[in-house]
């Protein structure tokens, strides 16, 4: 799929609909624009990247209202909010998935998402007489129990569609959640800030049954001298 | 529309601002010369708080750091470009494949590279003598050694002097201590008799001067360093050159079309297209130094046709574009149960990439391929990014428990397996062959109207056998580490996991140096045999690649060639 063509079509489509809905004719007052979606170009991206983001963000959402509500319910079943943990919706995972569905240029992902949500509603309607988002948690979980587990020994393309659909939503929910501030805090990742690396703590070495070789460590940087400018003798022996 | 001519006559016009162009700029500017640096991409300075990507969190990117077609190493990677640049295509001869990575920005690909800074050894310059394959370089290690020494001191590289025969000692900064998964690798490799040493990488673990900071261990060298503690050509060569006694005029967003020549066939300068106004300009120079990358420089030469140079500039030998070769590459990863349930009590980002590595150890007389490969090791508790949590508990299969599910079990599974994967990559030497090449495609131009490259590249069984050997090595070492191997071992049908040519981004050889003007493009000073005021200081001049990364050698050779250029200009020989 040509991203630019499709986005252009979407953008034109939305403008046309907007005008029709407001019954705007030439000479009349401009309709008030509600919920303007824009992208502020950032300097760390190239012009081309900023252009693509503008096109995506100013385009229509991937999920319609019903799909979005269903996704919120589904993602919160995957990572539920509780007293101990934040849930998927606390990290607005569905907006992330909506963006990625448009960004990846993957028709398969888009079709699988739409089709998977239809499948969920159909299944739930058939078994419970309600769409998935309106079912009880127990009804929802009964459905998930059938599709949430897979046999890793079976190649992915040989697994049932609904199982792969759920795996995809689970993957996107996990990535969407654990790349946010609350997700990173929960995981406990300690990096992405200036520090001075001076080796693995002893208790960690002990836990995993490994040790540093003193001969190796003797060659490593003495962090107390890191700010003293390097000088060598003519044979490449560090003097400082 | 007329071509707009700049009246300045430069001592040198340098095309490209990566490792080779950056070094030439520094050496020439230090000598007090007037140089123009012409770069196809925009200005880039990772110290600019708005332009830097270093220390950004995944949630500052809409796609959480995921790669795209136009930023394939992830949203924060400091390479503008990729294998596929909008409006700048390249083509292939049917049935062949070459992935061409370009980064158009000040500093080029040095902004994101792995900083693995290995000197070539004595054997690497004399491939033909070693095993009969390919050709010898017209120079040897002793010619380049003084320049490697100077590069070590100017730019800074950590490592250790080990006295190895083909992995020479240098002037090293002290290396960082190994991380946890690297200790597992050391133990695993030792069991197989594979040697392991501290890696040799160009990050400043110790101060070298007042202009550059010291590494603060964020592990993000691929994003380019805001305190200039890693080597990027912009921050470590171009910026200092601008402060030197020479004159450095920087032309960014300027795509060089061709080298212009006079009636005698000597170069007079370059013509370029400004991406800003889409107009064509000309610059005049006493010398032209091409450093646009191996394939881009070859393309410029082949597109510089004139009455005097009907086959393109410097191409009377018809060798320009030939002997293109990239490093071989193969990778494998494993789940290491003994690395499960890790404490997240500490920051182990370290330097970007590996703290340890294995140089080639094998005895080729007992193997079915010439030359070798080195091993790179990866793993650890990295910063979450797009892909984190995918197939979160797939490893349950090794314990007979169910994979998949939903709910809080996913949280504990993520933490259980966090940092328990270790991978090994092999990067090896392929043989330079005349029939692997790039040429001008007469049917296609890019959006600047410049004829594009067409690639013709095929691996041989020598490279496939090497990849097969590498996969056997991965399996053995990872198993020694108690690992459960991930994925399948690629067989013959998949070239034993050998990556597509170009994928390792070490392409060299397209304008190779040699003593014979009939079989090479430049002499040993990187001066075109055909035109004495045109030089090439990128990896195009490599007669052969080694099982090393090419950047340190590009830098050393560019310095050597630049000294020669300064001398020749002073003597008014060119």
Q: What percent of chain A lies above the pLDDT cut of 70?
A: 85
Which tokens is B200 given?
Answer: 């040799």
What's the rounded Cα separation, in Å, for the pair A233 and B442?
56
Q: What is the dihedral of CA B273, B277, B283, B287, to 10 degrees?
A: -40
CA separation for the pair B188, B209 (Å, rounded): 38
- State pLDDT tens for residues A115-152: 999 999 999 999 999 999 999 999 999 999 999 999 99
At residue A5, does pLDDT exceed 50? no
Quick check: A87 contacting B, CB < 8 Å?
Answer: no
pLDDT value, residue A3:
44
Residues B405-424: b if buried by 16+ CB within 10 A, e if exposed:
bbeebbbebbbbbbbbbbbb
Cβ pair B305, B312 in contact under 8 A: yes
Q: Which pairing describes strands B451-456 and B437-445: parallel, antiparallel, or unpaired?
A: antiparallel
Q: Which of A163, A183, A208 sits opposite B180 (nearest CB)?
A: A208
B164 near B338, Cβ under 8 Å? no
Contact of B332 with B486, CB cutoff 8 Å: yes
- Alpha carbon of B48: minimum distance to chain A alpha carbons (Å): 9
Burial class from Cβ neighbours inside 10 Å (0-12, 13-18, 19+) for residue B387 reads middle
Token digits for A211? 């040790």
pLDDT value for B291: 98
Of B349, B464, B523, nearest to A190 by C-alpha is B349
Cβ separation A191–B218 shorter than 8 A: yes
Give dist(CA A229, CA A227) in Å, integer: 6
pLDDT of residue A4: 41
Find the helix packing angle between A65-78 and A107-128, rounded to 10°. 80
Cβ-contact B131, B365 below 8 angstroms:
no
Are the beta carbons of A229 and B209 separated by less than 8 Å?
Answer: yes
Q: How far is B481 from chain A (nearest CA, A)?
A: 12
Q: Is B205 on the interface with A (CB under 8 A)?
A: yes
Contact between B219 and A191 (Cβ < 8 Å): yes
**Distance in angstroms (rounded) separating the CA atoms of residues B526 and A121:** 69
pLDDT string in tens for chain B (574-residue length): 688 998 999 999 999 999 999 999 999 999 999 999 999 999 999 999 999 999 999 999 999 999 999 999 999 999 999 999 999 999 999 999 999 999 999 999 999 999 999 999 999 999 999 999 999 999 999 999 999 999 999 999 999 999 999 999 999 999 999 999 999 999 999 999 999 999 999 999 999 999 999 999 999 999 999 999 999 999 999 999 999 999 999 999 999 999 999 999 999 999 999 999 999 999 999 999 999 999 999 999 999 999 999 999 999 999 999 999 999 999 999 999 999 999 999 999 999 999 999 999 999 999 999 999 999 999 999 999 999 999 999 999 999 999 999 999 999 999 999 999 999 999 999 999 999 999 999 999 999 999 999 999 999 999 999 999 999 999 999 999 999 999 999 999 999 999 999 999 999 999 999 999 999 999 999 999 999 999 999 999 999 999 999 999 999 999 999 999 999 999 999 8
pLDDT of residue B500: 98
Helices A161-178 and A93-103, axial angle in degrees (round to 10):
110
**Of residues A105, A193, A226, nearest to B206 (C-beta):** A226
Is residue A12 pLDDT above 50, yes or no?
A: no
Separation CA A109–CA B70 (nearest Å)? 20
DSSP track, B337-380: GGG-S----S---BSSS-SEEE-----GGGSSSSS-EEEEEEES
Residue B20 DSSP SS3? helix
Q: Per the structure block, which two tokens stand in for B420?
A: 């328990």
State the best of A188, A221, A224, A238 to mutate against chain B, taking most chain B CBs within 10 Å: A221
pLDDT at A160 over 70: yes
Single pTM value for the model: 0.94
Does the pLDDT of residue A11 top 80, yes or no?
no
CB B350 to CB A222 under 8 A?
Answer: no
Distance CA B231, CA B222 (A): 11
DSSP character at residue B403: E
Q: What is the pLDDT of residue B137?
A: 98
Neighbours of B145 (CB within 10 A): 15
Instruction: Give yes or no for A193 touching B (CB within 8 A).
Output: yes
Tell me how far the alpha carbon of residue A148 is from its chain's centroid: 19
- CA B531 from chain center: how many Å? 28
How far apart CA B452 and CA B446 sit, in angstroms, is: 6
Give me the pLDDT at residue A37, please: 73
State residue A2's pLDDT score.
Answer: 44
Q: Which residues of B309-332 are buried (b: 16+ CB within 10 A; e: fewer)?
A: beebbbbbbebbbbbbbbbbbbbb
Q: Per the structure block, which two tokens stand in for A229?
A: 């400018």
- Which residue among A187, A197, A225 places its CB closest to the CB of B415? A187
Q: Per the CB < 8 Å rule, is B383 touching A190?
A: no
């Amino acid at each position: 799929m040509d991203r630019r063509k499709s986005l252009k079509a979407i953008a034109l489509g939305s403008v046309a609909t907007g005008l029709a809905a407001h019954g705007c004719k030439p000479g009349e007052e401009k309709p008030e624009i509600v919920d303007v979606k824009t992208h502020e170009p950032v300097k760390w991206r190239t012009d081309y990247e900023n252009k693509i983001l503008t096109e995506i963000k100013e385009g229509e959402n991937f999920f319609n209202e019903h799909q979005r509500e269903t996704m919120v319910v589904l993602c919160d079943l995957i990572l539920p909010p509780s007293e101990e943990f934040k849930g998927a919706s606390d990290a607005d995972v569905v907006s992330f998935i909506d963006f990625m569905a448009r960004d990846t240029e993957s028709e398969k992902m888009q079709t699988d998402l739409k089709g998977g949500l239809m499948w969920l509603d159909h299944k739930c309607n058939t078994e419970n007489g309600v769409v998935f988002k309106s079912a009880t948690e127990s009804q929802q979980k009964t459905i998930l129990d059938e599709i949430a587990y897979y046999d890793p020994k079976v190649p992915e393309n040989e697994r049932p569609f609904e199982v792969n659909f759920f795996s995809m939503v689970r993957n996107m929910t996990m990535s969407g959640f654990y790349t946010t501030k609350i997700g990173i805090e929960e995981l406990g990742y300690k990096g992405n800030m200036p520090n001075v690396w001076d080796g693995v703590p002893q208790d960690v070495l002990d836990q995993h049954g490994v040790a540093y070789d003193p001969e190796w460590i003797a060659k490593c940087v003495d962090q107390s001298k890191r700010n003293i400018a390097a000088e060598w003798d003519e044979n490449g022996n560090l003097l400082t | 529309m007329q071509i707009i001519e700049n009246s300045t006559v430069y001592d040198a016009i340098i095309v490209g601002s990566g490792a080779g162009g950056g070094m030439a700029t520094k050496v020439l500017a230090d000598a007090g010369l007037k140089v123009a640096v012409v770069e196809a991409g925009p200005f880039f300075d990772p110290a600019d708080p708005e332009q830097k990507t270093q220390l950004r969190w995944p949630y500052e990117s809409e796609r959480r750091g995921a790669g795209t077609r136009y930023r394939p190493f992830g949203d924060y990677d400091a390479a503008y470009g990729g294998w596929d640049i909008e409006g700048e295509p390249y083509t292939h001869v049917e049935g062949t494949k070459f992935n061409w990575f370009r980064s158009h920005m000040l500093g080029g690909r040095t902004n994101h590279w792995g900083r693995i800074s290995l000197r070539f050894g004595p054997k690497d310059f004399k491939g033909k003598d070693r095993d009969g394959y390919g050709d010898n370089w017209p120079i040897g290690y002793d010619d380049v050694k003084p320049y490697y020494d100077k590069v070590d001191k100017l730019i800074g590289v950590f490592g250790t002097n080990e006295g190895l025969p083909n992995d020479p000692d240098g002037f090293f900064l002290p290396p960082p201590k190994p991380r946890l998964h690297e200790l597992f690798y050391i133990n695993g490799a030792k069991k197989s008799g594979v040697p392991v040493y501290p890696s040799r990488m160009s990050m400043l673990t110790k101060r070298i001067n007042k202009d550059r900071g010291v590494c603060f261990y964020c592990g993000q060298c691929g994003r380019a360093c805001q305190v200039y503690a890693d080597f990027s050509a912009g921050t470590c060569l171009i910026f200092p050159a601008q402060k030197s006694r020479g004159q450095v005029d920087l032309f960014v967003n300027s795509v060089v079309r061709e080298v212009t020549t006079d009636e005698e066939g000597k170069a007079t300068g370059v013509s370029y297209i400004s991406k800003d106004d889409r107009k064509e300009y000309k610059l005049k120079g006493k010398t032209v130094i091409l450093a646009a990358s191996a394939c881009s420089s070859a393309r410029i030469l082949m597109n510089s046709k004139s009455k005097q140079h009907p086959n393109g500039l410097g191409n009377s030998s018809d060798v320009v574009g030939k002997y293109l070769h990239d490093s071989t590459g193969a990778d494998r990863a494993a789940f290491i149960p003994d690395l499960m349930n890790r404490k997240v009590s500490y920051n182990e980002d370290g330097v970007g990439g590996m703290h340890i590595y294995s140089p080639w150890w094998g005895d080729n007389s007992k193997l079915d391929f010439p030359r070798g490969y080195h091993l790179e090791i990866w793993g650890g508790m990295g910063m979450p990014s797009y892909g984190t949590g995918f197939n979160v508990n797939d490893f349950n299969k090794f314990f007979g428990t169910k994979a998949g599910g939903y709910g809080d079990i996913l949280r504990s599974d993520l933490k259980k397996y966090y940092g328990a994967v270790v991978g090994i990559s092999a990067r090896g030497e392929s043989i330079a062959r005349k029939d692997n090449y790039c040429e001008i495609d007469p049917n296609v131009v890019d959006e600047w109207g410049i004829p594009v490259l067409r690639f013709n590249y095929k691996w041989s069984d020598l490279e496939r056998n090497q990849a097969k050997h590498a996969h056997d090595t991965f399996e053995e070492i990872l198993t020694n580490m108690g690992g459960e191997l991930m994925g399948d071992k690629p067989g013959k049908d998949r070239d034993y996991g050998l990556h597509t040519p170009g994928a390792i981004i070490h392409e060299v050889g397209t304008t190779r140096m040699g003593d014979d003007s009939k079989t090479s493009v430049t002499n040993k000073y990187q001066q075109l045999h055909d035109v004495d005021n045109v030089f090439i200081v990128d990896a195009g001049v490599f007669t052969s690649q080694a099982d090393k990364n090419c950047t340190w050698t590009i830098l050393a050779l560019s310095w050597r060639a630049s000294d020669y250029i300064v001398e020749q200009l002073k003597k008014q020989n060119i």
